Chains A and B, each alone.
Chain A
């Protein structure tokens, strides 16, 4: 039996080892070399030099800065909004339709969403500036200044991923034991205290899982940046992934330096994933 089982996981093992573990190993190795596809020079071993360069690279620092900003602003907003919407839509007439509708921002390919938002943010004719003008706010150059372009990307991320938080928490809410909450109402609890003392503590583990997944995904943001701002103006909306892409592909093919940058990202994500795995209680969910 064990032998057959091993044969059955072999294809998956092959794909994942060949297409992730081997490339990652190669990448760690390359991060110690000066190696650019743009020149004909052979890779040259330079030790930790690529890593030291990161500290002096102002664009790299600014991309880390923006990525951290995204984590610090967008993710909490998504969690709060997602939770609020989950409570808002609970037991509403037509909640099934609303739930399907809210699936759309998250499922639409990010590239397509990017096109839509690029139109919405248009300075002269964009609907966003139009809606703001109804409130008496003058036209904003959404893609032209550091502050607003960063805010713009954050807003898109909130638009795209709040539905994810909502869907998960909504499913979580529905799986809570109803009778406990109802019993608390009988005992005279208000809606808020039922939330504060019963529903929120029960949802907390799920909330952590969602939080970590969102943090990891936000670290990887790329498509939206590419489509809407292309990192600009200047380098103000370079996300970390976007900067790696720029270094490694679009401007320079500097594989050595891009590898060093990627190794750092990989380390950060691995730490978070470890945390996630501990939160998931795999033994129970998978009956292992």
Chain B
């Protein structure tokens, strides 16, 4: 009986993993397939010859499609990196300050915290349109700043939330000891609390980076060209063409996905806590 149960369990686990990982597997292998093998019947599950052509570009392009390779990706990659780095930095600073005030001085209390949650849950489409109108008056459309500001709306509530729980775990006696020794709030915050909170700050910066990196809707509405558009938009534009070059598209997908996957595995511990507003410690 025991081994029957074991086998059933093993089969189920394999099915679960297959369902959840196959789409990613398919994307990754397609990125290394030659154009003949993008679409075949039966599908090519293991490329017969691997190529880097989809990444580096192939002369002459692929059967008349407008796009050749992801060589054109560089401006978008640059925009993504700049925007996500700025968002990560600003978001961490802004939310660390606010989270400390909430954790230690109970500023705003329940109402402030509830307000932060509601902003975190609000639909981005609802802020996208008014932001478009406002940003176009400020001449910010299609700039890095438009994206950085818009992404901060998404990342700061999330980060503040995680950091409040993080600061709460640092014993208050440490602040008090610093105060007794004559340190001001600023000094105790910077030289006592922040070093202790370093792992939390790193996690929050990472998660902000991820969120900004993958954000699509706000970026779609607030940018118009390659001066500011980020990787997800590059992919989005790719797919609406009449003939889709799947190999390069999958290759660009890998470039877009890779940092996110790596970073999220690193920050895994804090992810669940942040996503459920501390309902579970994770």
Contacts and interface: CB of A to CB of B under 8 A. Distances in A.
B107 A8 contact: yes
A189 to B, nearest CB: 18
Interface string B236-280: 100110000010011001001100110011001001100111111
A210 interface: yes
- Looking at chain B, what size class is its interface with the partner chain? 35 or more
B253 A115 contact: yes
A117 B279 contact: no
A276 B153 CA distance: 20
- Chain B interface mostly: helix
A154 interface: no
A286 B165 contact: yes
B165 A285 contact: yes
Interface size on A, as a range, is 35 or more
A227 B249 CA distance: 12
A135 interface: no
B101 A119 contact: no
A162 B93 CA distance: 33
A73 interface: no
Contacts of B164: 286
Max chain A Cβ within 10 angstroms of own Cβ: one of B16, B45, B156, B280: B280
A56 interface: no
B214 A159 contact: no
Given A9-B98, A265-B125, A168 B256 contact: no
Interface in A164-205: 164, 167-168, 171-172, 175, 205
The secondary-structure label for the interface of chain A is helix
Interface stretch (A46-54, A100-108, A144-152): A100-108
A249 B101 contact: no
Contacts of B168: 286-287
B200 interface: no
14 contacts: A12-B98, A13-B98, A15-B153, A16-B115, A20-B153, A22-B134, A110-B216, A112-B257, A130-B41, A164-B275, A168-B275, A241-B123, A273-B118, A277-B117
Given A20-B127, A23-B131, A244-B125, 4 more contacts: A23-B127, A23-B134, A103-B264, A171-B281
